[in-house]
Structure 1
Amino acid sequence: MQGWATDKPSFRAELNRIIMYITKLQLNCSRILSPGLTQATQPPVAAAHWQLCAEDWLLPAANGPCVAYSFSMDGGDADFLKTVLKLGCEVHSFDPSISNASGGHLSNSLTSNRGNGGSVIQHKMWLEWRTPKRRRHKTRGNLGSVSQTLADIMAALGHRSVHFLYADLLSAEWRIFQNWIEAGTLQNIHHLVATVHLQWAGFEVGGTDEEVLRFWFSVLWGLQASGLMLVHSSAGEGHGVLRHTVENAHSSYTLSWANTQH
């Protein structure tokens, strides 16, 4: 846990520290991939929801494996899925609300889609942030539950690394990020695009408003300590932060990171 922004708890000081942190880019990319584009371009580009850093040293080798995951329940990942498919990645989409009518290839278990004709394999599954006290051995291709940690999902799919991961976790992101940091999972994620929600504390996050903001900042600092560098920030709609209306802040931000430790 990081210390307070000032010598005593202050909502304004804690919030300002977070907003400054998530709007100040940490890595300048000479080439980027943006939604709707299949080729990398030089910045700047028009306002984009997310961007991927397309430096050669950050992208998968041309003849090597490429794996992409997306966790989204609102269809907001459509452009992301198209982009990573164009990159030749093996693409997995996770959504506990999907049905056979949603299109694509649906799997209730975790199996690889290699040779699946370049389509997205869909899993009726979501992310868990609680690590079970009694961990049963997870066999490849079978998890037996609709909620699993990212580490267990990767193990079941036989993936040591995920090159591109998209996540809109609907306010569960703070505890899930904490799980990824503590479990060391982020060391195996090369690019992360995620939306953080500031309207309320998030699932299983408690305390005063100042304590919540301090926890959020500590999680963001943990992402950086795991090697993630911010390459793009896009503000969402609204100005509500923990039931406060704050004109110089937004209710959500979509953040794009690249892992520089690979």
Structure 2
Amino acid sequence: MGLSVGFLLRLGLLFTAVCVCVHVYLRTGWWRTPAPPGLGRPIQTHQKLGKHGRASGVPAEGQEQDRSIKRRISYVRTLKKEGSARKRYEESEVLSPPCCPRLRSHRKTPRWHIDLEPWASESHSLEAEAKRFLSYITTPQVLCSSLGGEETAQEETTGPWAVCLDPKYSLSHRIQGKHCRVYSFGLGAEDRSLEHSLARSGCEVHCFDPSLKQPHLQQDEMWLHRLSVDWRDPNPAIVAQRPYANTKKLATILNDFGHRQVDVLKADMESAEWKILENLVLEGVLDSVGQMLLELHLHWAGFEVGGDDPSVVRYWFSLLRELELANFRLFHVHSDQAKPHLFLHKNILNASSSYTLSWVNTQWKP
């Protein structure tokens, strides 16, 4: 009798444990999770996944379970595709996730340095570099049928600063449509004949001069700003010490003024032009400029330009080649013969120490 009671007690406990397991099994939904092949019940029909992660060949029985399985597989595959696409987009900035519209990069990826051109000669001589460079800056690359700018009283020819008004380029059409915008950068007092001429034609002209007493001033149909362009934005600590010294990168100025494009960019930066031009190249700002008028100073290397003389000239030449690669073409050259004939403190090929060059962006579409 005692044995029968013990047996019944153990049987009751076993039955209770079985009931608890069945209850947990039904409540947690383990029965909905497909078992891996070889570890659970055999799969009666092989399911093939298409390129979109959808299952085919689903057996007739258990259709609700298989739909759940298909949705889960499709969701996992979609996540994998999105993750892979996002990774490719971040690496190339071209692809975008399939679930989202194609993203558009508003600016090219900044570069860290320009690409130096090969040496002009195997000997890396200054003479060879200077000859190549001077030939490059004194040979116009495109013909402009109509130049606009200051005209000299004696020869009635265009002065050092000139814009191209050829109808095949956009500036003349922009002036007619009253949509022309001009940026003029200079240090101290300078001739602004070109700016006045463009302002009278209907252009919106902004002159930047850090020596002004007022932050902004409208004068003679032009805007004057106490600001100058630089190849880097200022250090906040320096700005706090010198509140009236205000220099910024061109990209920052465009952003602060809410301007996307500039039809004409004129700059006479007294030997800072090389590093400023390098910044425009590296940050991809050249796409926002229609024509560039730049005065070059060749009597020394320029601010923060290092290296021996042949390396400096090679760097100058490489910068100007970057302009050509960005679809800019030289259309006007002016040599100031009144300036000393010094080329890196030497008299080389009787070159002047100052040249004013004008380029047009042949692919510029405002």
Paired amino acid for 1:184: G
SS in structure 2 opposite 1:241? coil
Q: How many residues align?
A: 235
Is contact 2:130-2:348 (8 Å) kept?
no
State the 1:9 CA deviation.
0.9
2:170 corresponds in structure 1 to 58
Q: Indicate the larger mover: 67-76 or 23-32.
A: 67-76
Greater Cα offset, 237-246 or 75-84: 75-84
Percent identity between the aligned chains?
36
Q: What residue number does 1:137 align with? A: none
Counterpart residue type for residue 136 of structure 2: Y
Q: Output the CA distance in 1 between the equivalents of 2:189 and 2:321.
A: 29
* Cα distance in 1 between the residues matched to 2:187 and 2:178: 30
Q: Residue type matched to 2:292 in 1?
A: L
Deviation, 1:130, is 2.4
Larger Rg: 2
Structure-2 change in CA distance of 1:29 and 1:11 (3 Å) = same
Match of 1:31 in 2: 146
Q: Deviation of residue 64 (structure 1)?
A: 4.8
Partner of 1:231: 331
The equivalent of 1:119 in structure 2 is: 221
The 3-state SS of whatever aligns with 2:141 is coil
- C-alpha change, 1:199 and 1:221, in structure 2 (3 Å) is same
Q: Establish whether residue 153 from structure 1 lines up as the match of residue 264 from structure 2.
A: no
Q: What does residue 67 of structure 1 align with?
A: 181
Q: Which runs of 4+ in 1 moved over 4 A?
A: 131-134
Give 1:3-14 correspondences, 5 Å limit.
Answer: 3-14=118-129
Distance 1:74 1:133, change over 3 A: closer
Query: Which residue number in structure 2 is paired with residue 95 of structure 1?
Result: 209
Q: 2:357 aligns with which of 214, 231, 255?
A: 255
What pairs up with 1:239-250 in 2 under 5 angstroms?
239-250=341-352
Deviation at 1:120, TM superposition (A): 1.3
Q: Distance in 2 between matches of 1:52 and 1:126?
A: 22
Cα distance in structure 2, aligned partners of 1:14 and 1:74: 33
Any stretches of 5+ residues in structure 2 without a counterpart?
1-115, 237-243
Kindly tell me: are residues 83 and 64 of structure 1, through their superposed partners in 2, closer, same or farther at Cα, counting changes over 3 Å? Answer: closer
The aligned residue for residue 141 of structure 1 is none
The CA distance in 1 between the partners of 2:182 and 2:289, in whole Å, is 10
Report the Cα distance in structure 1 between the residues aligned to 2:161 and 2:134, rounded to whole angstroms: 17
The worse-fitting range, judged by mean Cα deviation, of 79-88 and 52-61 is 52-61
CA shift, 1:50, in A, is 2.3
Q: 1:145 to 1:156 in 2, by over 3 A?
A: farther
| Aligned 1:77-88 pairs, distance under 5 A | 77-88=191-202
Structure 1 residues without counterparts, runs of 5 or longer:
38-43, 101-105, 108-112, 135-143
**Aligned AA for 1:222?**
E
2:127 aligns to what SS in structure 1?
A: helix
1:46 pairs, out of 154, 157, 167, with 157
- Match of residue 75 from structure 2: none
Partners of 2:219 and 2:268 lie apart in 1 by 26
How far apart are the structure 2 equivalents of 1:238 and 1:147?
29
- Selected match of 2:136 from 21, 26, 33: 21
Q: 1:208 aligns with which of 303, 308, 313?
A: 308
Q: Which has the higher helix share?
A: 2
Alpha-carbon spacing, 1:117–1:172, altered in 2? closer, same or farther (3 Å): closer
Task: Map Cα deviations across residues 175-196 of structure 1 (whole Å, 9 max, x no partner).
Answer: 1000001111111111111100
What CA deviation, in whole Å up to 9, does each residue of 1:51-80 have, x standing for no partner?
Answer: 211112331432252110101124334112
Q: 2:299 aligns with which of 199, 211, 224?
A: 199
**3-state SS of 2:311 partner:** helix
User: Does the 8 Å CA contact 2:233/2:247 hold for their aligned counterparts?
Assistant: no
